[in-house]
Structure 1
Amino acid sequence: MTIDARPTGAADPLADGWRRPRGPRLGYRVDAWVALGLAGGTALSLTLTRSAGIMDDSPWWLAALWVALIALPLAARRRFPEIVALLVSIVFGVFGSIGVTDALFSSICLYVAIYSVGAWSHNRILARWSRLGIITGMFIWLFWTLIDHANQATSIPELSREGFFSPYAAYGLLQVLLNLVYFWAAYHFGDAAWHAARRSAALEARTLELAAERERTASQAVTLERVRIARELHDVVAHHVSLMGVQAGAARRILDRDPAAAARAISVIEESARTAVDELHTMLGALRADDVDCDGAQPAHQSTSTRGVDQLAELAQENADAGLSVRMQVIGDPRPVPGTIGLSLYRIAQEALTNTRKHAGAGATAELRLRYETDAIELEVTDTGRGSHPPAAPTSGEPAPGAAGGLGQRGMRERVAAVGGTLELANRPRGGYLVRARVPLAGASPAPAAEALTPADLLVPTRPVAE
């Protein structure tokens, strides 16, 4: 199941077609209050400008109309930024040409209008060209006004027009520089606000995705832990119960004519039961440990068993005691093996030998080889049985219908896959069955030669149970 971490109707903030959300209704109310505040400030500034004699006396209704048209449209700047900016710029230029203006708030209104196009426009191409068009028109109007006033001696008469760089020319250049900074700021900070909103939306979307991913990971961790527990239980119970069943049957058949051999078989049953209980206690203790994470899953690098490649000789001896002739060989120089890999190989060998006892038939023998290579370790279990081994589990992970060994073989595949190895399950051409697992050993260094064991050191004597 795929979980969409983005809010309903929201586009990907990193996509080219992302549109900035208009925000809650509170934002529209704030814009309305800002527009009313600017209208009040513009009215006060206009009154002071008229009182100072800077602006020509004009009808009060014309001044009131100018105040309304220059400020009140800003209430809709979030919803219709391009239209509002165009209207405010036209009002600014037209009424400024006839002398209806102030010295402060009209410029603030125009700045907010241009800024809002960059901050709120959904069409970024239209936002760019509409602002460039407004700015170009404003500079054309500015140059036209400066040239027109330069030819009127009554306009700013205190500034001389004489000379190559006259005082009036300096005044005009100052106006151009001020307008360049003014319009650049309105353009730049509008875009900056849009990009900041996009980054904020992307961060929010990623936060939601991470939360959803964490939920998926927690669910997967619980599922994987349940599979791991089921696999461990299968390996422990199947091996030891099978061993106890074989020994119990042998003891029952020879109890009357060979009590000593029956006693040995019962001792094997007792030892197998004790070992199974110990392994179950170890596994349950690990599940109840304090370092189990908050999702209920044990860390992957920890094992619920102390079994590993060092205990393969004990495993071979257990099967020999159960009546299966097992020969073990260690090829190559032994080296340290990570606990997870060691446990996986041990369980694979345990399952393979259990299947041999169950399916290989009477008189079958088995060979267990542990091969240390330069960059890998390989476990091979073969038998000479004539019985019918269970078919290999399908690659889908489901056990083969009617196959008693489906779960065991699936467990082998899961264990090998978990440590990055490969598994081969096949019938041998000359009879018998082959289980071969190969696992990489990245970074493992060989043990000192003095501690290496020869294959002869690990030959396990067989002691079949008398019939």
Structure 2
Amino acid sequence: MLRPAPASPPVIDGVEWVRPGPTSEQVRNDAVLAAVLTAATAASVVLYRSTGYGSGVDWWWAALWVAGIALPLAARRMVPELVALVVAAVFMAGGIAGVGELLFCNITLFIAMYSVGAWSRSRVRSLIVRAVIVLAMFTWLIWSLLYSSAVQDYLPELGRDADGPLSPYVAYGLINVVTNLLYFGGAWYFGDSAYRSARARAELEQRTAELAAERERLRAQAVALERMRIARELHDSVAHHVSVMGVQAGAARRVLERDPQAAASALSSIEQSARDAVDELRRTVVALRTPGADTGPIDVGSDGGADAAASTLRIAQVSELVDEARAAELPIDFTVVGEPREVTPLVDLAVYRIAQEALTNVRKHAGRGARADVRLRWLDDAIELEVADTGLGERATTGSAPGGLGQVGMRERVAAAGGTLELGPRTRGGYLVRARIPYRSGRR
């Protein structure tokens, strides 16, 4: 049975897909095909005329018919509808005139019909052209069958040795109808199948290109996020120790002449802070460069990578930060409320880094004479870190400018651990940093 073309145009990502024109190589192949079929059809005409079939047609007319039935196929992919109409018209003209060739003319018509379904840029036009050709062919076939049944001498040998339940003319007509249904139905079906295959290949190529672009985008994003993570770790590792060294260097300068012993003690602290900074920097770089240290996918603000997996910095070491701040002449109170609980490495590192950054900013921005208060609360479902100061300096804040890297890093760490962060000036003066992080970190 004939298969109609799709009722609606094919769509890829909301845009109607139109098959692109043939390549130069395909056009050359079609020209070769047309030349080969022209030669084969001419040879077939000679053979048929040698048997006496079609010998009543002049040679020049037969030559024109051969050229008209085969040569148009050279343009079958460029103008498939026009080629099909021309080949069909020449096919009918040859049949009516009695050229007699029955082999290659059917092959050329099949290819022309197939090309309309496979290469037409408009599915509506493809449907109309093929429908017109099929209707014309079946009209001609029915007329021929009616004529053969009405004219006794048209097929005199038909029915001479007939042996079957049907009339010879009825059987002859059915054979022709079924043959033509299979012939045109096959050309229609395979043409549409070729078009659908081309559309599927185009869609696959589009998806492949999109996936390649997405992979490139994710690769670039991963590189940028990794650079940001490394920058944050280096900032947290170095800024704390450098700020302590700056405070201690200032203290040593002030007492160098009147109290050499105190100055020497401050210089020793500077030396130790420098060693600590280098040691922590080394551990951070080694952790970030360790293959397989990443425990999860990279995400904005995520510490689920090498820093969480390999760092030795823990909540228990917050007290060491407090001792360092006191050694740098910062008055500070430290309070722990509740019983310590087991937490993930991500939470351990996040709390330590937030405390480190907050105390660093107290020394940098709170001003001389300010006091700090550090409180670590072990709650039922979360750990809460609070760092407050009295903020007596010119810039009475523990954070840098609103867009500073210190505050950005704290927000990223808290977000990665699934917690909340509160920071800003206090109503009674000073600055407050309060982070609340669940024991089992998770993205919210």
Q: TM-score range by the shorter chain?
A: 0.7 to 0.9
- Match of 2:334? 327
Q: Distance in 1 between matches of 2:221 and 2:180?
A: 61
CA gap of 1:233–1:134, structure 2 versus 1, over 3 A, is same
CA gap of 1:220–1:130, structure 2 versus 1, over 3 A, is same
- Please say if residues 392 and 425 of structure 1, whose CA atoms lie closer than 8 Å, have aligned partners that are also in contact: no
SS at match of 1:102: coil
* Identity within the alignment, %: 52
In the TM superposition, what are the counterparts of 1:14-33 in structure 2 within 5 Å? 14-33=13-32
CA gap of 1:20–1:345, structure 2 versus 1, over 3 A, is farther
- Match of 2:50? 51
Q: Distance in 2 between matches of 1:335 and 1:315?
A: 20
Shift of 1:53: 3.6
Please list the CA deviations of residues 181-215 of structure 1 after superposition, one character each: whole Å capped at 9, or x if unmatched.
Answer: 22222112212222222222233333333333333
- Please say if residues 426 and 434 of structure 1, whose CA atoms lie closer than 8 Å, have aligned partners that are also in contact: yes
SS at match of 1:436: strand
- Match of 1:356? 362
- Please say if residues 313 and 328 of structure 1, whose CA atoms lie closer than 8 Å, have aligned partners that are also in contact: no
CA gap of 1:350–1:191, structure 2 versus 1, over 3 A, is same
Specify the code of the residue in structure 1 equivalent to 2:188: Y
In the TM superposition, what are the counterparts of 1:226-305 in structure 2 within 5 Å? 226-253=227-254, 265-286=266-287, 288-289=289-290, 301-303=305-307, 305=311
Q: Distance in 1 between matches of 2:335 and 2:274?
A: 24
In the TM superposition, what are the counterparts of 1:149-164 in structure 2 within 5 Å? 149-160=148-159
In the TM superposition, what are the counterparts of 1:433-448 in structure 2 within 5 Å? 433-438=431-436
Specify the code of the residue in structure 2 equivalent to 1:425: L
Aligned mate of 1:337, from 334, 341, 344: 344
Q: Distance in 2 between matches of 1:227 and 1:422?
A: 21
- Match of 1:4? none
CA gap of 1:217–1:171, structure 2 versus 1, over 3 A, is same
- Match of 1:105? 104
- Please say if residues 393 and 410 of structure 1, whose CA atoms lie closer than 8 Å, have aligned partners that are also in contact: no
Please list the CA deviations of residues 223-257 of structure 1 after superposition, one character each: whole Å capped at 9, or x if unmatched.
Answer: 33333333222222211011122233334545677
| Residue 429 of structure 2 is aligned to residue 428 of structure 1 | no
In the TM superposition, what are the counterparts of 1:123-272 in structure 2 within 5 Å? 123-160=122-159, 165-253=166-254, 265-272=266-273
SS at match of 2:145: helix
Aligned mate of 1:386, from 374, 392, 416: 392
- Please say if residues 118 and 187 of structure 1, whose CA atoms lie closer than 8 Å, have aligned partners that are also in contact: yes
CA gap of 1:202–1:342, structure 2 versus 1, over 3 A, is farther
Please list the CA deviations of residues 22-43 of structure 1 after superposition, one character each: whole Å capped at 9, or x if unmatched.
Answer: 2321111111011111111212
Shift of 1:355: 0.9
- Match of 1:311? 317
Q: Distance in 1 between matches of 2:244 and 2:211?
A: 48
Specify the code of the residue in structure 1 equivalent to 2:278: V
Shift of 1:364: 0.8
- Match of 1:71? 70
- Please say if residues 366 and 382 of structure 1, whose CA atoms lie closer than 8 Å, have aligned partners that are also in contact: yes
Specify the code of the residue in structure 1 equivalent to 2:46: T
Structure ranking higher on relative contact order (CA contacts 8 Å, 6+ apart): 1
Shift of 1:392: 6.5
Shift of 1:59: 0.7
Please list the CA deviations of residues 411-431 of structure 1 after superposition, one character each: whole Å capped at 9, or x if unmatched.
Answer: 333444555654332112232
- Please say if residues 57 and 97 of structure 2, whose CA atoms lie closer than 8 Å, have aligned partners that are also in contact: no
Further displaced range: 73-82 or 157-166: 157-166
- Match of 1:448? none
Shift of 1:48: 2.2
Further displaced range: 28-37 or 17-26: 17-26
Q: Distance in 1 between matches of 2:433 and 2:214?
A: 38
Further displaced range: 64-73 or 220-229: 220-229
Aligned mate of 2:408, from 392, 398, 410: 410
SS at match of 1:250: helix
Structure 2, unpaired ranges of 5+: 1-10
Shift of 1:367: 1.9
- Please say if residues 241 and 277 of structure 2, whose CA atoms lie closer than 8 Å, have aligned partners that are also in contact: yes
With normalisation by structure 2, the TM-score equals: 0.82
Q: Distance in 2 between matches of 1:282 and 1:347?
A: 15
Q: Distance in 2 between matches of 1:205 and 1:252?
A: 68
Further displaced range: 84-93 or 297-306: 297-306
Specify the code of the residue in structure 2 equivalent to 1:382: A
Q: Distance in 1 between matches of 2:380 and 2:59?
A: 99
Shift of 1:360: 2.4
Structure 1, unpaired ranges of 5+: 1-11, 400-405, 445-467
